[in-house]
Amino acid sequence: MLSDREILSTLEMLRSEHLDVRTVTLGVSLFDCADPDVHAFCDKVRQKIVRLAQNLVSVCDDVGDKYGIPVVNKRVAVSPIAVVGASLGREDLVKVAQTLDEAARTVRVDFIGGFSALVEKGFTNGDVSLIDAIPEALAQTERVCASVNVAATKAGINMDAVYMMGHVIKRTAEATAHADGIGCAKLCVFANIPPDIPFMAGAYLGIGEPECVINVGVSGPGVVRKAIDRARRANPGLDLGQLAEVIKRTAFKVTSVGELIGREVARKLGIPFGVVDLSLAPTPNVGDSVGEIFQSLGLKSIGVPGSTAVLAMLNDAVKKGGAFASSYVGGLSGAFIPVSEDLNISEAARKGHLSLEKLEAMTSVCSVGLDMVALPGDTSAETLAAIIADEMAIGVINRKTTATRLIPVPGKKAGEKAFFGGLLGEATIIPVPNGELSSEFIRLGGRIPAPVQSLNN
């Protein structure tokens, strides 16, 4: 049972420490909408999403008002379109993306995910058509998010898909060049993608999931930092083991709040409750940064030596506290380190404390990967593919989810800034050392075999 002090600290989290529920995401299965006629397919998709999601925003707002805890984002995730629209061609799939966008606008959610393909072991015709349609689909829509899973621990890395995604990212950036390549901010390339992510751009409703479900993503980087600061002020002699305990207990409270809101929303909508994603999700706002936690733990900046160790401790403590608060934990569940979406991380990149190589090293212990990383616009498709391949290898070998959201900003060079606006923030473009020396490797293609599981070292 929580003590009086812990209850008071929870109230303080609500009042002044940016505690909120970052996202409530409604998963909608579209398998019963499959139809070889694109017009019939789109009609079924539109009707089903609007029917199930029409009250999502109002119910989230009502529940948030009731408890004084804002639900920042309300979103929809659908079955992978490459599967349910497997009989459709490229042009038809662009129309499907436009339908998803219209449905999202109708029900007033800010993003809809699931323009996705799962190709870790190979391609179907539907997968190829969807991947080819991604640049045009993201350029012609506002709220649609896409993801492609190109690797898995049990399948290895589909290097043909990795190379293909290098070209798709380049085409997407060029198609949205007027906005610094913002289409790439809505496109994730994954290894080991979970089927129940509530966060965008990777959210989709996986095979094996219910007809519809509510998944919740909590927040809390500002809350964790304030808890560490309070603990260190009260007792300057605390060591890292004791501070990990502080983070763990804070994560317990944050997760409890998220599950309370999620279950209430699910009950009011008459929809099953799914999972709580324990990820610490930052925003570009002051005081809501994962990067600031590193400073509270004694580092001058995220990115300096010691950062990977701090991130590993933070991730583990958050998972331990969250797992005790909820029996239904899923999604990504870790700390996000998106460069543009976190003011402190973006500033560390601008000052040169955080390089592409250090970001990659840190992703070996976090749950996401190279997230919202702005790169020079002349970065080649082969170099993008090589960066993706490195990140996929980290996920595959370590049996964890990793992803990339890379943005080669058209017409801009390293050191310049890219502006995406809103929650997506802004980022200094970071250089890619030795970027053009990987082309021969990437062009070999094929599939890197799955790693042996029993000889860990």
**Residues 330-373 pLDDT 10s:** 888 888 888 988 888 989 999 999 999 999 999 999 877 899 99
Please give the Cα distance from 72 to 333 (Å, whole number): 18
Which residue bears the tokens 């179907």? 124
Report yes or no: 447 and 163 within 8 Å, Cβ to Cβ. Answer: no
Q: Angle at which helices 240-269 and 307-325 pack, to 10 degrees?
A: 50
Beta strands in 6-129 (DSSP E): 21-28, 71-78, 111-118
In a structure prediction context, what are the per-residue pLDDT tens digits for the chain, which is 457 residues long?
A: 556 666 666 666 666 666 788 899 999 999 999 999 999 999 999 999 999 999 999 999 999 999 888 898 999 999 999 999 999 999 999 999 999 999 999 999 999 999 999 999 999 999 999 999 999 999 999 999 999 999 999 999 999 999 999 999 999 999 999 999 999 999 999 999 999 999 999 999 999 999 999 999 987 788 899 999 999 999 999 999 999 999 999 999 889 888 999 999 999 999 999 999 988 888 777 778 899 999 999 999 999 999 999 999 999 999 999 889 888 888 888 888 889 888 889 899 999 999 999 999 999 998 778 999 999 999 999 999 999 999 999 999 999 999 999 999 999 999 999 998 887 888 899 999 887 889 999 999 999 999 998 887 7
Specify the pLDDT at position 103: 97
Please give the Cα distance from 176 to 277 (Å, whole number): 31
What residues contact residue 73 under an 8 Å CB cut-off, 6+ apart? 22, 23, 24, 110, 111, 200, 423
The residues pairing with 448 across neighbouring beta strands, listed in sequence order, are: 157
**Residues 163-187 pLDDT 10s:** 999 999 999 999 999 999 999 999 9
Please give the Cα distance from 368 to 332 (Å, whole number): 7
Please give the Cα distance from 279 to 196 (Å, whole number): 13
pTM of this prediction?
Answer: 0.94
Q: What secondary structure letter does DSSP report for 409?
A: E
Specify the pLDDT at position 130: 98
CA distances 419 to 284, 340, 345, 374, Å, are 12, 9, 15, 10
Which of left, alpha, beta for 16 (phi over 0: left; psi -120 to 50: alpha)?
A: alpha
Specify the pLDDT at position 34: 94
